[in-house]
Structure 1
Amino acid sequence: MLTTSRGISLILALAISALTVAFLLLLDDATPTLLIVAGGISFSVSYILTNITLEFLVFKEISDIYSVLEKIQKKDYSNIPEKSDKLSISPLRRINTSINIYAQTKNKEIEALQKNAEFRREFIADISHELKTPIFAAQGYIHTLLDGAVDDKSVRLKFLKRAAKSLNALDKLVQDLLTLNQMESGVVKFHFETFDLKDLIHEVIEDLEHKAAKRDMLIRFFYDKEKSFKTVADKEKIFRVCQNLISNALKYNNDGGEVEVHLKTHKSQITVEVKDNGKGIPAEDLKRIFERFYRVEKSRSRERGGTGLGLAIVKHILEGHKSKISVSSTLGKGSIFSFELPLEKSPEKTVLKTLNSLFV
Structure 2
Amino acid sequence: MLFNSRGVSILLAISIAIVTTAFLSLLEGVSNIALILTFILSSSSAYLLISIVLEFLFFKEINKLYEVFNKLGEKNYSFVNDMNDQKSLNPLRKINQEIFSYAANKQQEIDELKRMATYRREFLADVSHELKTPIFAAQGFVYTLLDGAVSDKKVRGKFLKKAAKSLDGLEMLVNDLLTLSHIEAGEIKMHFEEIDIYALVQDVFDQFEGKVDKKNIILQFDKDYQSPIHVIADYQRIYQVIVNLISNAIKYSDENTEIVVGFEISDKDVTVAIQDHGAGISPEHIKRIFERFYRIDKSRSKERGGTGLGLAIVKHIIEAHGSSVSVTSTLGKGSLFSFKLPVKKAPEPYVPIAEEESETD
Letter in 1 for 2:155: V
Deviation of 1:119 after TM superposition, in Å, equals 0.7
Q: In structure 1, what is the Cα distance between the partners aligned to 2:311 and 2:44?
A: 73
Identity of aligned residues (%): 50
Q: Is the 8 A contact 2:68 2:79 kept in 1?
A: no
> Which residue in 2 is equivalent to 1:358?
none
Q: Residues 59 and 351 (structure 1 numbering): CA distance in 2 closer, same or farther, change over 3 Å?
A: closer
Q: Which deviates more, 53-62 or 238-247? A: 53-62
- TM alignment of 1:144-155, pairs within 5 A: 144-155=144-155
CA contact (8 A) 2:326 2:339 kept: yes
- 1:77-92 correspondence runs (5 A): 78=75, 82-83=79-80, 84=83, 87-92=87-92
- Match of 1:291, SS state, is coil
Q: Distance in 1 between matches of 2:7 and 2:189?
A: 72
Q: 1:116 to 1:345 in 2, by over 3 A?
A: closer
Deviates more, 1:302-311 or 1:204-213: 204-213
Provide the rounded CA distance (Å) in 1 between the counterparts of 2:300 and 2:314: 21
Pair 1:189-2:189 in alignment: yes
CA RMSD of aligned residues (A): 3.4
Aligned equivalents of 2:77 and 2:195: distance in 1? 54
Residue 27 of structure 1: aligned partner: none
C-alpha change, 1:304 and 1:4, in structure 2 (3 Å) is closer
* 1:266 positional shift: 1.5
Cα pair distance change 1:332/1:54, threshold 3 Å: same
Whether the 8 Å CA contact 2:141–2:160 is kept in 1: the answer is yes
* Equivalent-residue separation in structure 2 for 1:310 and 1:208 (angstroms): 16
Aligned counterpart, 1:205: 205
CA distance in 1, matches of 2:282, 2:192: 36
Matched-pair contact (CA < 8 Å) for 2:325–2:337: yes
- 1:197–1:231 contact (8 Å) kept in structure 2: yes
Q: Counterparts of 1:247 and 1:37 in 2: how far apart (Å)? A: 94
Question: By how many angstroms is 1:240 displaced?
Answer: 0.8
Aligned equivalent of 2:266:
266
Displacement of 1:132 in angstroms is: 0.7
Deviation by residue 1:179-198 (Cα, 9 ceiling, x = unmatched): 11111111112222222111
Q: Give the distance between the partners of 1:80 and 1:197, measured in 2 at CA.
A: 45
Map 1:105-120 to 2 at 5 A. 105-120=105-120
Q: Distance in 2 between matches of 1:346 and 1:106?
A: 47
1:305 matched to which residue of 2? 305
Aligned to 2:278: 278
> 1:51 Cα deviation (Å)?
1.5
Question: C-alpha deviations, 1:103-147, integer Å up to 9, x for none?
Answer: 111111111111111111111111111101111111111111111
Give the Cα separation in 2 of the matches to 1:272 and 1:69: 49
Question: Conserved in 1, the CA contact under 8 Å of 2:199 and 2:228?
Answer: no
Partner of 2:136: 136
Which residue number in structure 1 is paired with residue 52 of structure 2?
52
Amino acid at match of 2:79: E
Question: Counterpart of 1:312 in structure 2: which amino acid?
Answer: A
Q: TM-score when scaled to structure 1?
A: 0.83
Once the two structures are overlaid, the 10-residue window that deviates more, 39-48 or 169-178, is 39-48
What one-letter code is carried by the residue in structure 1 that aligns with 2:186?
G
**Contact 1:17–1:39 under 8 Å retained in 2:** yes
For 1:213 and 1:275, the matched residues in 2 are separated by 18
Residue in 2 that maps onto 1:173: 173
- Report deviation, 1:324: 1.4
Partner residue, 1:249: 249
C-alpha distance in 2 between matches for 1:212 and 1:270: 26
Query: 2:355 maps to which residue?
Result: none
What is the one-letter code of the residue matched to 2:269?
Q
Task: Pick closer, same or farther for the CA change 1:8–1:145 going to 2, 3 Å.
Answer: closer
- The offset of 1:35, in angstroms, is 11
**Partner-residue secondary structure (3-state), 2:296:** coil
Is the contact made by 1:223 and 1:263 (CA closer than 8 Å) also made in structure 2?
no
**TM value normalised by structure 2:** 0.83
Q: 1:38 to 1:229 in 2, by over 3 A?
A: farther
For 1:82, what is the secondary structure of its paired residue? helix
What's 2:230 paired with? 230
- 1:263 is paired with a residue whose SS is strand
Distance 1:277 1:56, change over 3 A: same
Q: Which residue of structure 1 aligns with residue 216 of structure 2?
A: 216
Partner of 2:264, secondary structure, is: strand
Q: Is the 8 A contact 1:68 1:99 kept in 2?
A: no
Match for residue 295 of structure 2? Answer: 295
Amino acid in structure 2 at the alignment position of 1:283: P
Question: For residues 202 and 335 of structure 2, what CA distance do their matches in structure 1 show?
Answer: 21
Q: Any conservation in 2 of the 1:62–1:92 contact (CA below 8 Å)?
A: no
Structure 1 residue 81: Cα displacement: 7.7
Amino acid at match of 1:59: F
The secondary structure found in structure 2 opposite 1:190 is: coil
Counting matched residue pairs gives 342
Partner AA of 1:263 in structure 2:
F
Residue 126 of structure 1: aligned partner: 126
1:9·1:47 contact (CA, 8 Å) conserved in 2? yes
Q: Give the direction of change, closer, same or farther, for the CA distance of 1:215–1:81 in structure 2 (3 Å limit).
A: closer
